[in-house]
Every structure is written in C-alpha cells, then in structure tokens.
Structure 1
Amino acid sequence: MYTHQSNVITQGKSLAETGKALIMIHGRGATAESILSLADYLPVKDFTLFAPQATNHSWYPYSFMAPVAQNQPALALALEQLDELVKNIKTQGVASENIYLLGFSQGACLTVEFAARHAQKFGGLFIFTGGLIGQTLLDANYQGGFEGTPVLITTGDPDMHVPVKRVEETVKQLESQGALVTKKIYQGRPHTITQEEIELACEIFEQVSSADKR
C-alpha cells in the first residue's frame, strides 16, 4: 500500500513570531532539505518555512501527464498531506494571504494542483517547471477563487517532463480562477531553476511585501 508519512521539516522563527509561511515542495528524487536550500536566495528571512518530505522521494509514481487513476492513491495522499499542512498553519492564526507555496518539477505540479483545487487568496505561488496534473484537465476538479494571488509559472522549451502546452493550459485555468499569472518559457533551458527565475520570484515577494506596508 502506498502511503505518505507526515514528515515536515520546519525552518526559521515560529509562526507566532513571523505570521507568514512559505511551503516548499521538492521534486521527484529530491529531499525537503534540498528545496529548503533555495530559501537562501529568496527574501524570506521573516517567514516560517515548511518543507514536507515525500516517502521514497516521490509524491506519485508516474508522469504528471498520465491518467490521474494511474497515480492513485499516492496523488490523493500527497494532496491530502498538503491540505492538512495548510489547515494546520491556518489554525495557528495565519491567514491564507500570508501563506505562500513553492515547488519545483514534480513538486511544482503537486503545488499547483493543490492550489487550483483549493483556490483562495494566497500570498503567492511559485511553480518552477510544472503544470496541472492529469492526461486531460477536468474543470470540476478546480474550486474556489485566487482573488488576485500572484503566480509565477515557468518551464523550458522543450522540457523533458513538462510540455509548454500543459503550462499554457494551467495558466488559462489559474487565470479563470482569478490568479495574476506571470508565465516564462525559456528556450533550450535544462530542467533546473535559473537565476532569472529566482529574481522573478524575489520581485513577487517584494511586491507583496510592499503592498502589505501601504
């Protein structure tokens, strides 16, 4: 039986001190520690960081473009784990607009799938090389509204795992739910996170921070 252990690494000051959370979701074959290292390059020193660890380093077994049924029950369990983490953060007094989500590759796919199924006003979504999950996208899966949540979504062209067409389909879905999406497609870029993508993410963090201080 496929199960995900609720293993979450927390870094930084407590939520009671920061009032802001960044959830970071690693890719296939990676670790919570590896995605947390990305925080060194982002303006998140006043955030509490959360990085769940997937069992056996994978959130679901097959491609995110496979029929959803092929990735069950692992996918459902992974989405449930992320939902429980967000709800736990909220019970500690943090509003959704102070919760940010970031993922790379398989982690980006899981992040955006969760967000579209539970759309609300998040602080920001950072989807580094990812898209909504499934062979085809079903409108009935996506609920709620983002209320202007800023979203950065990227991929390479071509990318060995994430086709541009799915990124474009994902952008259309997110915008239909009220997200403000920045899409970047990089010609010939390897399957990684570039410095430019980091800089774009930093700009979104800083824009949201500036808006909060008005």
Structure 2
Amino acid sequence: MKLELQTLEPADDACASVIWLHGLGADGSDFVPAVPLLELPGSLPVRFLFPNAPVRPVTVNGGWPMPAWYDILEMNIERRIDEASLDESAQQIGALIEQELERGIPAERIFLFGFSQGGAVAYHTALRYPSALGGVVALSTYLASAARMPQELHPSNAGLPMLVCHGSADDVVPITLGRRAIAELQRLGLAPQWQEYPIAHEVCVPELNQVGRWLAAQLQRNSR
C-alpha cells in the first residue's frame, strides 16, 4: 500500500531529501511547522517528505484504530510490539527512499527523521537498508528491533551517522529506553551522537535548531 504524504519542496532544485516520520496517533502534518526551526541555509535546498502512517488497531489502546507504524502489544519497559507491522512500515519507507533515488537524490543524501514510534521505524529501516544513507535523526524513541539487529544490520550502514535526542522528563518513552538504544547501537559498532533536553515527550526549539545544524554538517561533509 502506497503511503499518503505531504511534501515540502525547496525554492531551488533539491540537493537532499528528508523523510520525517511522526509518532503514534499523529499524521504527516505534525512536523511540517518544524522545518523553519531547523534554520537550514539557503545554499542547502532540502526536500521534506511527511508520510502518514496507516490506520490500524493498537492493542495497548484497547484495540482502537489510529495512525500507527506498528501495533504495540505491551506498554512496559520492554515495549513488546508486532514485528510484522514494523517490517511492513519499513518496506513502505524503503519505497519512499527508492522514489527519491529515482528523482535523482543519491542515497547518501537521503535522511530518515523520526519521533517516538516514527523514530523506531527510522532506526529499523535505515540500519537494514542495502545502500549507505545520509543518516538518521531519532527523537524521543527506542530501538524496537534490537534483538534482530546484530543479524540484520546491513554492512552499507554500519557507519550510519545518527543524532539521537531525548527528553529527560519523558513519561511516554522513558529516557532509559533512549539510553538503552545508544548502548545497543554502540555494541553494533555505530557511534550515535546523544543529546538530552529538559522536556517531556515532545520536541523543543533548541533541539530542532541542533537537528538543523547536524543535517547541514552532514550535507556539507557529503558534498566534499
């Protein structure tokens, strides 16, 4: 199934693409207002894609249908999930990556951003993708497929640049899950950049400013 999405095109021809995945119960419009807060220079025209997650029943919410990248079976610290729906979403995001490749954006200038559940999909998709991507920004999230990743990490993305941010007062995805993801990624040989903010399950302006600086640095590095 093809995902519905919103797209923000830059004034000039795009030199890179960001696929930004929202959290549980939200939609693609959730992070559209965040783009100006990245404060990207005009010399870096970036296309932003904001896909909508499919509507599906979510077990921990009483089976109520809502936009969700995958079903969450238990809301404990282990976050037991339905891995088949996670894989399905990763395939759909992979199709968006392929779309951007066909539009002339090199894989190393395609980035996955994700908040909460969307961040888990960003991790899962990028680490398994068969071509080296530009990087991942993981916001207030966790590594949902940690048990599988030692076998499924693709060598092309064994050095994937990653910026991981989390709120110290997050009561939805506890910061311990974000820290656990960092430890698991480090065990895989990756070197994610970690930043904590004094916020709950949300994003803040300084955090988005940092995301913009990180993205600009990656794009400038890739242009050399």
User: Structures share a fold, TM > 0.5?
Assistant: yes
> Alignment partner of 1:28: what SS?
coil
Amino acid at match of 1:97: E
How far apart, in 1, do the equivalents of 2:200 and 2:191 lie? 26
Counterpart Cα distance in 1 of 2:98 and 2:186: 24
**Residue of structure 2 in register with 1:162 after alignment:** 173
Give the distance between the partners of 2:200 and 2:87, measured in 1 at CA: 29
1:31 has 2:42 as partner = no
CA distance in 2, matches of 1:7, 1:115: 20
SS, match of residue 193 in structure 2? strand
TM-score normalised to structure 1 length? 0.82
Match of 1:18 in 2: 14
Of 179, 190, 213 in structure 1, the residue corresponding to residue 200 of structure 2 is: 190
Alignment length (residue pairs): 206
Alignment of 1:1-214 (within 5 A): 5-13=2-10, 17-42=13-38, 43=40, 46-56=45-55, 57-62=67-72, 63=75, 65-68=78-81, 71-118=82-129, 120-134=131-145, 137-138=147-148, 139-146=150-157, 148-175=159-186, 179-186=190-197, 189-212=199-222, 214=224
Amino acid in the other structure paired with 1:128 = L
2: CA distance, partners of 1:185 / 1:150: 18
The one-letter amino acid paired with 1:86 is I
Question: For residues 152 and 97 of structure 1, what CA distance do their matches in structure 2 show?
Answer: 16
- Stretch moving more, 167-176 or 17-26: 167-176
Q: Deviation at 1:213?
A: 5.2
RMSD: 2.7
Superposed displacement of residue 88, structure 1 = 1.8
| Residue identity in the other structure for 1:154 | C
| Conserved 8 A contact 2:120-2:141 | yes
Determine if contact 1:159/1:190 at 8 Å carries over to the other structure.
Answer: yes
> 1:201 is matched by which residue type in structure 2?
V
* Whole-Å separation in 2 of the counterparts to 1:85 and 1:118: 12
Structure 1, unpaired ranges of 5+:
none
Percent pairwise identity: 20
Asked if the contact 1:146–1:179 (Cα under 8 Å) also holds between the matched residues in 2, the reply is: no
